[in-house]
Amino acid sequence: MKNLFNLKNIPIFLFFLSVFFIVKIFTLFMPKQSSDWASWVQAFGSIGAIFVAIYVSYDQNKKQLVREKEKVKKEELSLLTIINDELFLLRKLVDERFADFLSKIPKNISDMELHKVPTKPFLVYEGSVSKIGIISDEDIRRKIIYIYSGYNRLFDGMSLFNEISDSYDDAKRYDDSADTSESRKEKDERYKDLEYSHLQLRELYKKIDDPLNALLRNLGEAIGGGAVCE
């Protein structure tokens, strides 16, 4: 019963309703002369032509909607694929360059080597952020935004760590030459800043890792099964 009143069935419903009324009128005013028959045939022909025109227009609109949905679906799959590839490469980059730095607590943080942070790590996301809305799965959409936001904070934090590390090196060199209580205090404060910055980076890294793995699984399933646009 629910399908009977579906918008797709409206043209069919109107057609049969019109036929019913036409037949009803025809039986009430049955033609008796040949000229009356000619008028009725002409009327039926005109009505038939109107319904054909309506149906052709409806069918064209329906096919256009199908084409548009297919186009959006292809765009969505393409977007999910390139985002999946970029996130996979980002994880590989972080694991290869920064895994030790982000997962270990060293005896002396100032001795740790932090490789150069990539300058433009989100080329795909930044170029496609206006299209994120076409992703039909709300959960995947939110996870993508969360992961990229997390990576952005992580890389910003790494850049800040580098700046603090440079500041510590300057304070240490000054203390080596000055050897005063003020220079030692300055050096110790910069080292505490370095420790805190490293702690924050390790926490960020942990918060990203599991959600990223879950997102990559979701993306793999969506790409493999074909994302669906409702």
8 occurs within a structural domain: no
95 occurs within a structural domain: yes
* Mean pLDDT (whole number) for 89-100: 87
30 occurs within a structural domain: no
**109/101 Cα distance (integer angstroms):** 9
* Mean pLDDT (whole number) for 92-112: 79
* Mean pLDDT (whole number) for 41-47: 74
Residue 177: domain span: 74-225
Mean confidence (pLDDT) of the chain: 82
At 58-67, the pLDDT tens digits run 788 888 888 8
**What pLDDT was estimated at residue 30?**
67
Domain count, the chain: 1
* Mean pLDDT (whole number) for 100-122: 76
pLDDT tier, 229 (very low <50, low <70, confident <90, very high otherwise): very low
208 occurs within a structural domain: yes
5 occurs within a structural domain: no
162 occurs within a structural domain: yes
Res. 76: pLDDT tops 80: yes
Q: CA separation (Å) from 76 to 69, 82, 126, 217, 230?
A: 10, 10, 16, 17, 12
10 occurs within a structural domain: no
64 occurs within a structural domain: no
